């Protein structure tokens, strides 16, 4: 056995051991600390939304088609959406800009997607409006002097989650009220409770905001200060005494529901969206369907793999057993890479991986068929082995390149409009093909040469073992 082969064998064994360590459940992860440099990575399988359950949203700037949105505005909107998502307390959310007017949001394992969507897409514009002697009923839609988006863009009114027996609020359109200040001057907002234990929102103003508020309230004692969210009146209290310390409370006459108060507080804390957003795509998968999919794919995968292993063993005997070992290593390496990169596994992704196992064996089949031909032509075993590998290589290379190219196109197609399903398939198939080149060629070859060095030319007589 050559020096090179021994080295390769050791490398393969080490690699397999490492992959095994990665794949084993309860992996502690990698935590390296050298001086001030730290590397921390927990290792586990990242499941896509279709397997964990969760919601994916595509939000689009809700402006007339001709109107361009500045990148800055979209970036700002993305940051605000991101903050709101984080405040929802979802694990591993994802918020990404897509194209020039869309934002992708992924919320794994969310209980109530509809409420979350509400929280994310409301503009969240808080205004303190001077309504003079008017106290406006809650839910009234008004016009104010302040505008976030372009004039004429209609902000989405926040709808009540459950329509109760409230009289339809009037819209006052003939009057434009003066906005004194907006949520921009808010330092913090949180949910508290009033003296009756009902949820309310407590806020604190920035120094500048406190000054504006103090000035205004001093001049307008006895008048009404109306608080609106996205142009809808939340409350319309009378100014009893000047507000000078820059703190305040927003209460609702009907009493906030806790969820509602939390939603408002989140929106206030992170400010108003610079562009109104609408939901143009939603994909939600319930947790039970996800779990069911995981179990079924696992079962299908294991059964498929076992059949392939048995087929190779019965068809190519000794060589088949080598291919099987290579295939198991192949599966291990794939799983390890998914966890290390990490690759988020989706249902089509699993299908892509399973399909790639078929391809992995394909390379082996090409090689073995060649070897058998060379043996039949009367070559000694060791040169038949060499010829099998070198001759099959062009076919393997060509065929794999065409699959890899297909994957690249699919990936582009998938990432162009957020079809994570298509992307998942392309990624796993691509990785699979790359790894299969290594396992089906290098690993198999190393094993066969090792085997041959142990048995020598004697093996050539055992035609049955080689399946020749």
Partner 1 sequence: MFDIVGKRKWYFLLSSVLITLGIIAMIISLTRFGTLFRLSIDFTGGTLWELRFPQPVTPAEVREVFVDQGYSDTTVQTTTDGYTALIRCKPLEPEVKTQIAQILFDKFGKAEELRYELVGPTIGALVTRTAFIATIAAALVILVFIILAFRRVPNAFRYGVCAIAAMVHDVLVASGFFALMGLIAGWEVDALFLTAILTVIGFSVQDTIVVFDRIRENIPKRRGEPFEVIVNRSLLETLHRSLATQLNAIFVLVAILLFGGQTMKQFASVLLVGMISGTYSSIFNAVPLLVSWELGDFGRLFRRRADKRAAA
Cβ nearer to partner 1, comparing 210 with 232: 232
Residues 175, 178, 184, 189, Cα dihedral to 10°: -80
Q: How far is the CB of 274 from partner 1 (least distance, A)?
A: 21
Cβ nearer to partner 1, comparing 157 with 192: 157
Task: Calculate Rg over the CA atoms of the chain.
Answer: 32
Cβ nearer to partner 1, comparing 354 with 381: 354
CB 218 within 8 Å of CB 242: yes
How many whole angstroms separate alpha carbon 310 and alpha carbon 93? Answer: 41
Please give the distance of CA 209 from its chain centroid, rounded to a whole number.
38
Q: Which residue, 278, 331, 333, is CA-closest to 308?
A: 331
Residue 432 pairs with which residues in a beta bridge? none
285's tokens: 């998968």
**Would you call 329 helix, strand, or coil by DSSP?**
helix
Q: How far is the CB of 299 from partner 1 (least distance, A)?
A: 5
Cβ nearer to partner 1, comparing 13 with 408: 408
Query: Within 373-432, which residues bind partner 1 (CB under 8 A)?
Result: 373, 394-395, 398-399, 401-403, 405-407, 409-410, 412-414, 416-417, 419, 421-422, 425-426, 429
- Residue of the chain from 83, 147, 284, 442 that contacts partner 1 (CB under 8 A): 284
Q: How far is the CB of 27 from partner 1 (least distance, A)?
A: 26
Residue 282 interacting with partner 1 (CB under 8 A): yes
Alpha helices (runs of H) in 189-344, residue ranges in sequence order: 207-219, 258-270, 287-340
- Using the contact rule CB under 8 A, the part of the chain among 27-35, 67-75, 215-223, 295-303 near partner 1 is 295-303
Cβ nearer to partner 1, comparing 8 with 61: 61
Query: Within 3-32, which residues bind partner 1 (CB under 8 A)?
Result: none
Alpha helices (runs of H) in 341-443, residue ranges in sequence order: 347-376, 381-416, 420-437
Q: How far is the CB of 137 from partner 1 (least distance, A)?
A: 20
How many whole angstroms separate alpha carbon 235 and alpha carbon 137? Answer: 7
Q: How far is the CB of 302 from partner 1 (least distance, A)?
A: 9
Residue 58 interacting with partner 1 (CB under 8 A): yes
Residue 189 interacting with partner 1 (CB under 8 A): no
What would the DSSP string read from start to end of 89-147?
T-SS-EEEEETTTEEEEEEET-S-HHHHHHHHHS---EEEEE-TTPPPPTT-EEEES--
* Sign, Cα dihedral of 302, 305, 307, 309: negative
Q: Where does 14-84 show beta strands of DSSP type E?
A: 30-34, 37-41, 46-47, 54-61
Cβ nearer to partner 1, comparing 185 with 445: 445
How many other C-beta atoms can be found within 10 angstroms of the C-beta atom of residue 39? 9
Cβ nearer to partner 1, comparing 3 with 288: 288
Q: Which residue, 249, 269, 247, 265, is CA-closest to 257?
A: 265
Cβ nearer to partner 1, comparing 213 with 367: 367
Q: How far is the CB of 265 from partner 1 (least distance, A)?
A: 21
Residue 258 interacting with partner 1 (CB under 8 A): no
- Residue appearing with tokens 């394992």: 109
Q: How far is the CB of 387 from partner 1 (least distance, A)?
A: 12
- Residue of the chain from 8, 19, 48, 50 that contacts partner 1 (CB under 8 A): 50
Cβ nearer to partner 1, comparing 186 with 422: 422
Residue 67 interacting with partner 1 (CB under 8 A): no
DSSP letter assigned to residue 150: S
Residue 60 interacting with partner 1 (CB under 8 A): yes
CB 317 within 8 Å of CB 465: yes
Residue 434 interacting with partner 1 (CB under 8 A): no
Per-residue contact flags (x/-) with partner 1 for residues 72 to 111, judged by CB under 8 A: ----------------------------------------
- Residue of the chain from 68, 70, 244, 286 that contacts partner 1 (CB under 8 A): 286
Cβ nearer to partner 1, comparing 191 with 312: 312
Cβ nearer to partner 1, comparing 111 with 215: 111
Cβ neighbours of residue 140 closer than 8 Å, sequence gap 6 or more? 169, 170, 171, 172, 232, 233
Cβ nearer to partner 1, comparing 185 with 231: 231
Q: How far is the CB of 461 from partner 1 (least distance, A)?
A: 22
Query: Within 323-352, which residues bind partner 1 (CB under 8 A)?
Result: 347-348, 351
Length of the chain: 468
The number of residues that bind partner 1 (CB under 8 A) is: 75
- Using the contact rule CB under 8 A, the part of the chain among 3-11, 33-41, 229-237, 357-365 near partner 1 is 357-365
Burial class, 318, CB count within 10 angstroms (exposed 0-12 / middle 13-18 / buried 19+): middle
């Amino acid at each position: 056995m050559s020096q090179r082969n021994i080295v390769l064998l050791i490398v393969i064994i080490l690699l397999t051991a490492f992959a095994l360590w990665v794949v084993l459940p309860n992996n502690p992860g990698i935590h390296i600390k050298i001086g001030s440099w730290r590397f921390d990575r927990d290792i586990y399988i990242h499941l896509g939304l279709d397997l964990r359950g969760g919601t994916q949203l595509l939000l689009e700037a809700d402006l007339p088609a001709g109107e361009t949105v500045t990148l800055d505005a979209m970036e700002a909107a993305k940051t605000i959406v991101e903050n709101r998502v984080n405040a929802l307390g979802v694990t591993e959310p994802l918020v990404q800009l897509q194209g020039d007017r869309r934002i992708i949001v992924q919320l794994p394992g969310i209980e109530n997607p509809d409420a979350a969507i509400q929280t994310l897409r409301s503009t969240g514009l808080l205004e303190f409006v001077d309504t003079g002697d008017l106290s406006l009923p809650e839910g009234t839609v008004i016009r104010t002097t302040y505008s976030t988006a372009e004039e004429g863009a209609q902000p989405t009114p926040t709808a009540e989650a459950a329509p109760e027996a409230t009289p339809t609020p009037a819209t006052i359109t003939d009057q434009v009220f003066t906005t004194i200040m907006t949520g921009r001057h808010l330092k913090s907002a949180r949910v508290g409770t009033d003296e009756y234990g009902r949820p309310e929102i407590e806020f604190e103003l920035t120094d500048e905001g406190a000054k504006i508020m103090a000035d205004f309230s001093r001049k307008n004692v006895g008048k009404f200060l109306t608080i609106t969210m996205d142009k809808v009146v939340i409350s319309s209290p009378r100014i009893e005494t000047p507000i000078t310390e820059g703190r305040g409370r927003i209460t609702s006459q009907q009493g906030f529901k806790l969820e509602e108060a939390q939603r408002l507080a989140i929106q206030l804390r992170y400010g108003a969206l610079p562009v109104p957003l609408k939901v143009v795509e939603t994909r939600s998968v319930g947790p039970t369907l996800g779990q069911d999919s995981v179990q079924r794919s696992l079962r299908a995968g294991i059964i498929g793999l076992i059949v392939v292993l048995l087929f190779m063993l019965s068809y190519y005997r000794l060589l088949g057993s080598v291919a099987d070992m290579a295939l198991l290593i192949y599966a291990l390496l794939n799983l390890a890479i998914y966890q290390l990169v990490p690759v988020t596994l989706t249902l089509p992704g699993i299908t892509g991986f399973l399909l790639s196992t078929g391809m992995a064996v394909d390379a082996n089949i090409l090689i073995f068929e060649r070897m058998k031909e060379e043996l039949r032509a009367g070559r000694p075993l060791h040169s038949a082995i060499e010829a099998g590998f070198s001759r099959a290589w062009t076919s393997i290379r060509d065929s794999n390149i065409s699959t890899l190219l297909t994957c690249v196109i699919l990936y582009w197609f998938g990432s162009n409009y957020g079809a994570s399903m298509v992307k998942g398939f392309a990624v796993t198939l691509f990785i699979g093909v790359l790894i299969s080149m290594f396992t089906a060629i290098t690993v198999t070859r190393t094993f066969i040469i090792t085997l041959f060095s142990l048995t020598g030319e004697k093996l050539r007589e055992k035609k049955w073992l080689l399946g020749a």
